[in-house]
Amino acid sequence: MPSPTARLLRAHQVPESYREPGILSGYRPPRSSACECLLSLFGMNNETLNIWTHLVPAGYFLWLLLARLRGPGAEAGAGPFLAYLGTCALYPLASSAAHALGTLGGRGRHRAYCCDYAALSLYGLGSALAYSAYVFPLEWVGSTFHDFYVPVAVLNSVLSTGLSCYSRFLEAERPRLSKAFRTLAFVYPYIFDSIPVFYRLSRSAAGSYSEGSLPLHSRHSLCALLTFLSFTSHLPERLAPGSFDFIGHSHQVFHICGILGTLFQLEAISTDMAERRGRLPLPSSLETFGSLGMGAAASLAILGVCFRSLRPEPPSREKSH
């Protein structure tokens, strides 16, 4: 059986599409087997903390979901919250799996990351479902924007999955364009979904609102900004290449800020549910899970097309020095 401390490679020994700016060592061998990928969870490499910083929170969110299903979370009106909480557990689980399987041979690597992107897109839709039910400004309830908010969020989720998965086709030959597409695929839905939150925060800054959830929403927004900056800047490893290969590089910061943001968001939504109970009309379970189901079905269809269209990567040519 392969050792979890299998031979690690330096950046010049792996294909360019595997390299990260400022990360010079700790790469797992490309075209590894599934067993070797999974064993790498237990040996230190430049992906180890990327995996565990999402795998542990995924377990926590799943535990919260199961506790809600067994307790008061199963009560009437909790459907949007349960749908949201399910996507909170799904996206870090898919992310940790993608990072663990990120050196699979053939099409496996790209397929794993496409599943990661689809799960993240569904998390955006889950957030929109919760925002529509519990977070919307009271003066916007029943407006045209409120009526179309969830349908547009479903469409955004599908577009996000499609654009991010398409970026995998550009990964090898046009990596910068690939990353730009992937960034746009998630930034735009986040901005749209957050319009109700941004409005309430702006009214709070003007002294019009004073609600207990708003500090939590502001912390979530700050974490989202830090997530974006860490993903796009590749800091701090760009400043000191090789110094953050295993601990402290930007993708780990990206994961930690994303999870902290989700925790703040979860607390904010829970606070709004308690403080605004009975003040917003709640959608039926059919509306909630129907919207989530449509988004999931469309994402699965996109994944099916991508899985069939992705080409296996050419064999890697490692250098000996």
CATH number for 61:
1.20.1070
Computed over every residue of the chain, the mean pLDDT equals 91
d(C-alpha 181, C-alpha 321), whole Å: 35
d(C-alpha 90, C-alpha 116), whole Å: 9
Domain-embedded: residue 191: yes
In this prediction, residue 215 has a pLDDT band, given cuts at 50, 70 and 90, of very high
d(C-alpha 81, C-alpha 135), whole Å: 11
The range of the structural domain enclosing residue 281 comes to: 49-309
Domain-embedded: residue 30: no
231 burial type by CB count under 10 A (0-12 exposed, 13-18 middle, 19+ buried): buried
Q: What number is the average pLDDT over the span 146-163? A: 97
d(C-alpha 196, C-alpha 194), whole Å: 6
d(C-alpha 82, C-alpha 164), whole Å: 26
Check pLDDT > 60 for residue 155: yes
In this prediction, residue 106 has a pLDDT band, given cuts at 50, 70 and 90, of confident
pTM over 0.95? The answer is no
What contacts 24+ positions apart, CB below 8 Å, involve 3-7?
A: 3/39, 3/43, 4/39, 4/40, 4/41, 4/42, 4/43, 5/43, 5/44, 6/32, 6/36, 6/39, 6/40, 6/43
Domain-embedded: residue 161: yes
Domain-embedded: residue 131: yes
Check pLDDT > 70 for residue 209: no
Q: What number is the average pLDDT over the span 182-201? A: 96
Domain-embedded: residue 76: yes
Count of domains for the chain? 1
Domain-embedded: residue 95: yes
Domain-embedded: residue 31: no
Predicted confidence at residue 175, as pLDDT, reads 84
Domain-embedded: residue 38: no
